[in-house]
Chains A and B, each alone.
Chain A
Amino acid sequence: MLFLFLVFCLTVALGTILCSSSGSISGLASAVARLQEQSGVESPVTAVLLNFRGYDTLLEVMVLLLAVISVWSLTKAPVSRQKAEISPVQMGVVRLLAPVMCLVAAYLVWQGSHLAGGAFQGGAILGAAGVLLLVSELDWIRTVPAFAIRIGLILGPVVFTGTALGCLFYSGELLAYPEGMAGWLILLIETACALSIGLTLALLFGGGRPEDDVPEGDIP
């Protein structure tokens, strides 16, 4: 009960501060509006996310990868002993929905440059498609080699880092896109990241590492 009282006092204190500070500062909106044309995309959020503060997004993509590595280090993916009876309705729906979801994800990634959208939104839809496939326990899913899965997972971070380093060598500053290429480079990064993010989310649902990820025998 004492803790409840403490939390209540904390909330009241912070609430009064919130009330007093609202509407006083304009923030960075004007700065973004001023530099919008140089960023290569029309959506201000995408501009901030992938151009002005692209370094944050790079680290954030690494966080997703980190989560997958951590989950893989903890446990193996659970494999059900018996083949579950998947109803034909579910299979039909999956066959219809999964390609449509991929299409919607691609559209969202494309749309990110001028409206709300982008890598994370598209990646979330792709992840949902992956979850759908995992739930339907399709036969070919368990046979994908771990190396291919790893390639897919690091594709997004590698493309992002590679582009950033390329800009470093070209323009002398990390993530400083060359003139006129900014929009296309951002689209490239977003596509690769969307693929990786979708795979990451689906694998996080999968709940563990594939069987052939840890090699047997002494590792040099």
Chain B
Amino acid sequence: MIASVILPLIAGLLCFLFNRRTFIIALAATLANFLIASFLLYQFLIFGPMRCYIGGWQPPLGITLRTDGPALLMLLITAVTGFAVTLYARGYFSHRISDPVRVGRHQRQQRYFWPLWMLLLAGLNGLFLSGDIFNLYVTLEIIGISAASLAALSGKPASQRASFRYLLISLLGSLTYLLGVVFLYRSCGVLDLDLLRNFAVNGSGMHAALTLLTIGLLLKTALVPLHFWLPPAHANALAPVSVILSALVVKGSFYLLFRFWFETFASIVTTQALNFLGTLGAIAILWGAIQAIRQQRLKLMVAYSTVSQLGYLFIAFPLSKAAEGAQVWAIVIFMALTHACAKSAMFMAAGNIYLHLGHDRIKDLSGVRASLPITVFAYGIAGVSLMGLPPSGAFIAKWMLLSSSFASSQWWWPLVIVTGSLLAMVYVFRVMSRFFVILETDTLKNPVPLSPLLEWPALILALISLFLGLLAPWPLHILSRGSMTLAQTFPGGLP
């Protein structure tokens, strides 16, 4: 289990040390990461939830790593997306460097992309596996720093501004989270998540701590109205970096938020708070979608689409009382997995279009279908997944949202969900329709063919997000096995 974190760390160190053969190291590391995640999942199916006490020290003094259903699914999707991003980034940088314009900048970007990405991956794995609330703070910081500097990698003025703002916001979120941890320690005296569950009684200290933790994590997850940093940062970053930021980084802090609200502090959340978060999610869906429709540039549109899709994750909060058992987790996990794959595919497609055409103005995107068929296909399928058409995973998630809201007679949520899907259809098809237009005066600026490394990861990720719904029983089974009270301890430490 610890290898999930240590392996990318070592890979990051090696990528920093050597500045020539870094791609091989990164590729090996992401492949190994995927194998480890699959192996952990396999062990989970046999043995159930597991714990690993680092240093052999039991809580409350030591730090534990723990696996259960949701953690492993997030780990797996991070591994899959990470592997795809690695391949895509390789193709991206090769393409950029082969173009003789501004080679020095692209070499700098390539040299520092790999160590930063490997360390980000280590931080993400550490976040999903950790069972100690202060350790989570350190992993959040690792993720925040590496994400902000990846966002700044492109060197353009807009990206420097956007990533500076991102860094400050991320820091504000971490500090608020840390203040929450301080209040928690003052009230309970322990830092371990499982022990905290026993201490979670109603009291002003606990409520304050949970509020502070929530605000900190909401800043990092970019829920409306705290979302203003996300579109510039994601849109102005390099294409592989946009993929990483949108698909993985925001999911990490959201996953943490969800775990706090529904597992660790489940006994002290109030219905009003759940409804408040749900309302914010509804506003996010509508506001993000409307802003996406208004955009003139493709990458900004995809970034606002992220803001909108994150809102769906938050609508699951108020419906948790109505849904039974593992269904709440299922809604959120399906939505998160689908969004990770589909948004990656969409940003990869946008990156390909930019490389091919030299710009990403939506109104000038005509004729792309003829020259980049795989990319357009990937974009289309990703769009279908985002809209929530069957059989994508988003459809399963929205179906469960709709059924639980009808079961609890909260009729306003389905209204928002359906409107959101319709608006998503508008902004997806707005771009798709441009692809299929072929004007007579079309001349392509840069007819260099894109390498398959650039196009196929996009298509494969899009297909994964589409067919996630067909695989639906399997993740549901994994999630329903994940009950930490039946945890079997593994002091021997899993590899």
Residues of A within 8 A of B (CB): 13-14, 16-18, 20-22, 24-28, 31-32, 35, 51-56, 59-60, 62-63, 65-67, 69-70, 72-74, 147, 150-151, 153-154, 157-158, 161, 164-165, 168, 171-177, 213-216, 218-220
- Cα distance A154–B57 when bound, in Å? 27
Could you write out 5 A-B pairs with CB less than 8 Å apart?
A35-B61, A70-B148, A154-B13, A176-B56, A215-B20
- Cα distance A215–B21 when bound, in Å? 11
Check A25 against B189 for contact (C-beta < 8 Å).
yes
Residues of A within 8 A of B205 (CB): 17, 20-21
CB distance from A157 to the nearest CB of B (A): 6
Residues of B within 8 A of A213 (CB): 19, 111
Residues of A within 8 A of B21 (CB): 220
- In this complex, the member of B17, B54, B123 whose beta carbon has the largest number of chain A beta carbons within 10 angstroms is B54
Check A55 against B111 for contact (C-beta < 8 Å).
no
Residues of B within 8 A of A26 (CB): 189
Residues of B within 8 A of A28 (CB): 60-61, 189-191
Check B112 against A73 for contact (C-beta < 8 Å).
yes
Given contacts A17-B204, A214-B111, is CB(A69)–CB(B56) below 8 Å? no
Check A215 against B19 for contact (C-beta < 8 Å).
yes
Which of B134-142, B246-254, B427-435 forms contacts with chain A? B134-142
By beta carbon, the residue of chain A nearest B19 is: A215
CB distance from B244 to the nearest CB of A (A): 15
- Cα distance A70–B153 when bound, in Å? 9
Check A165 against B6 for contact (C-beta < 8 Å).
yes
- Cα distance A59–B5 when bound, in Å? 10
Given contacts A21-B186, A25-B186, is CB(A59)–CB(B138) below 8 Å? yes
Q: Is there a chain A Cβ closer than 8 Å to B185's Cβ?
A: yes
* Other A-B pairs beyond A74-B152, A154-B13, A172-B493, 16, CB < 8 Å: A25-B188, A52-B62, A54-B54, A63-B145, A69-B112, A70-B148, A73-B152, A150-B16, A165-B6, A173-B52, A173-B493, A214-B19, A214-B108, A215-B107, A220-B21, A220-B23
- Cα distance A58–B13 when bound, in Å? 13
Given contacts A73-B116, A218-B97, is CB(A158)–CB(B13) below 8 Å? yes
Given contacts A25-B189, A35-B61, A218-B97, is CB(A161)–CB(B16) below 8 Å? no
* Interchain CB contact (< 8 A) of B119 among A66, A173, A174, A216: A66
Check B16 against A69 for contact (C-beta < 8 Å).
yes
CB distance from B10 to the nearest CB of A (A): 6
- Cα distance A55–B134 when bound, in Å? 11
Q: CB-CB contacts of B1-23 with A at 8 A, as 1s and 0s?
A: 01000100110110011011111
By beta carbon, the residue of chain A nearest B55 is: A175
Q: Is there a chain A Cβ closer than 8 Å to B418's Cβ?
A: no
CB distance from A96 to the nearest CB of B (A): 35
* Interchain CB contact (< 8 A) of B20 among A32, A35, A175, A220: A220
Residues of B within 8 A of A (CB): 2, 6, 9-10, 12-13, 16-17, 19-23, 52-57, 60-63, 97, 104, 107-112, 115-116, 119, 122-123, 126, 132, 134-135, 138-139, 141-142, 145-146, 148-149, 152-153, 183, 185-191, 204-205, 208, 491-493
By beta carbon, the residue of chain B nearest A50 is: B55
Check B135 against A74 for contact (C-beta < 8 Å).
no
* Interchain CB contact (< 8 A) of A32 among B12, B61, B132, B153: B61
CB distance from A24 to the nearest CB of B (A): 8
Given contacts A25-B186, A28-B60, A175-B54, is CB(A154)–CB(B10) below 8 Å? no
- Cα distance A62–B108 when bound, in Å? 21
Residues of B within 8 A of A35 (CB): 57, 61
CB distance from A159 to the nearest CB of B (A): 11
By beta carbon, the residue of chain A nearest B148 is: A70
CB distance from A201 to the nearest CB of B (A): 16
- In this complex, the member of B13, B21, B183 whose beta carbon has the largest number of chain A beta carbons within 10 angstroms is B13
CB distance from B39 to the nearest CB of A (A): 16
CB distance from B98 to the nearest CB of A (A): 8
CB distance from B91 to the nearest CB of A (A): 14
- Cα distance A72–B63 when bound, in Å? 32
Given contacts A28-B61, A70-B116, A73-B149, is CB(A173)–CB(B20) below 8 Å? no
By beta carbon, the residue of chain B nearest A14 is: B208
Residues of B within 8 A of A69 (CB): 16, 112, 115-116, 119, 149
Residues of A within 8 A of B12 (CB): 62
Check A59 against B142 for contact (C-beta < 8 Å).
yes
- Cα distance A147–B145 when bound, in Å? 24
Residues of B within 8 A of A14 (CB): 183, 208
CB distance from A63 to the nearest CB of B (A): 6
* Interchain CB contact (< 8 A) of B61 among A52, A67, A171, A177: A52
* Interchain CB contact (< 8 A) of B16 among A59, A65, A67, A216: A65
Residues of A within 8 A of B187 (CB): 21, 24-25
Check A52 against B55 for contact (C-beta < 8 Å).
yes
Given contacts A17-B208, A21-B187, A70-B146, is CB(A216)–CB(B107) below 8 Å? yes
* Interchain CB contact (< 8 A) of A168 among B152, B190, B493: B493
Residues of A within 8 A of B208 (CB): 13-14, 17
CB distance from B2 to the nearest CB of A (A): 5
Check B186 against A173 for contact (C-beta < 8 Å).
no
- Cα distance A63–B142 when bound, in Å? 6
CB distance from B134 to the nearest CB of A (A): 7
By beta carbon, the residue of chain B nearest A76 is: B108
Given contacts A13-B208, A62-B119, A176-B56, is CB(A72)–CB(B112) below 8 Å? yes
- Cα distance A54–B2 when bound, in Å? 13
Check B135 against A73 for contact (C-beta < 8 Å).
no
Check B107 against A173 for contact (C-beta < 8 Å).
no
CB distance from A211 to the nearest CB of B (A): 12
Check B19 against A157 for contact (C-beta < 8 Å).
no
CB distance from A197 to the nearest CB of B (A): 15
Check B20 against A52 for contact (C-beta < 8 Å).
no
- In this complex, the member of A18, A62, A74 whose beta carbon has the largest number of chain B beta carbons within 10 angstroms is A62
Given contacts A14-B208, A53-B62, is CB(A27)–CB(B9) below 8 Å? no
Check A55 against B55 for contact (C-beta < 8 Å).
yes
Residues of A within 8 A of B63 (CB): 53, 55-56
